[in-house]
Amino acid sequence: MKYDLKALLKSSEASLTQIVDILNTAPSLMLQSLESSNTAIIIVDMVNGFVKEGPMSSPRIQTIIPAIRELMTQAKEKKLPMLAFADSHNESSIEFAAYPPHCLVGTSESEIVDELKEVGGYELVLKGSTNGFLEPAFHNWLKEHPTIEQFIVVGDCTDICVEQFVLTLKTYFTTLNRPSRIIVPINSVEKYDLGVHAGDFMNVMALYKMHMNGIEIVREITN
């Protein structure tokens, strides 16, 4: 099967218009409206290798640092648990068949950016794939925080590591028949531009896919 670009664009225009409208009208959410006893902050891959240096870094991702730093500062004051995933690979990582070598163990690329390190207060989990949910250390963290059922998830990349994590997390709670509320603020997730991989378009489609699968998309988290 081959797609006709003109026909595809024409048939998709109404859908894309509605999707953009859904995202543009997403509400803000006040952090203080969430219960401290069951809420956590999850930071995905805000490492130098995606933000400041290396073949996978992007100035687009740098733009979300201030919003994430502010959220972390507020969460720390509220004594919310925070967990940060950091992409970290050995030189023989099979992931390099799909992506250029990045975030090697022991290099600055695999380090959380200084702006967020300065805030601190998070538990660090190294991850060797695009889906941090699969890391045993994350499951240990879940066991240590049995009351957590509300998650604010921020970081990059929207359509890869963030999307995979939130959808797997949602499915996990559904499998257990447990309620969960997984929140993704638009101003705190981002995606790189790379060739045909247009960041804005990929962001929109990833956010909508999350929305359609029960993830709560908000414009921003306010104090």
Residue 194, pLDDT > 80, answer no
| Predicted local distance difference test score (pLDDT) of residue 37 | 95
d(CA 196, CA 201): 10
Residue 140 in contact with residue 174, Cβ under 8 Å? no
For residue 195, what pLDDT is reported? 75
d(CA 193, CA 200): 8
Per-residue pLDDT reduced to its tens digit, 66-76:
999 999 999 99
**CA atoms of 74 and 119, how far apart (whole Å):** 10
Statement: residue 151 has pLDDT above 80? yes
pLDDT tens string 29-86: 999 999 999 999 999 999 999 999 999 899 999 999 999 999 999 999 999 999 999 9
The full set of domains in the chain, from first to last, is 36-222 (3.40.50.850)
The average pLDDT across 145-168 equals: 97
Per-residue DSSP letters for 127-152? ESSS-GGG-HHHHHHHHH-TT--EEE
User: What does the pLDDT read at residue 196?
Assistant: 76
Q: Say whether pLDDT at 102 is over 80.
A: yes
Rounded Cα–Cα distance for residues 206 and 210 (Å):
6
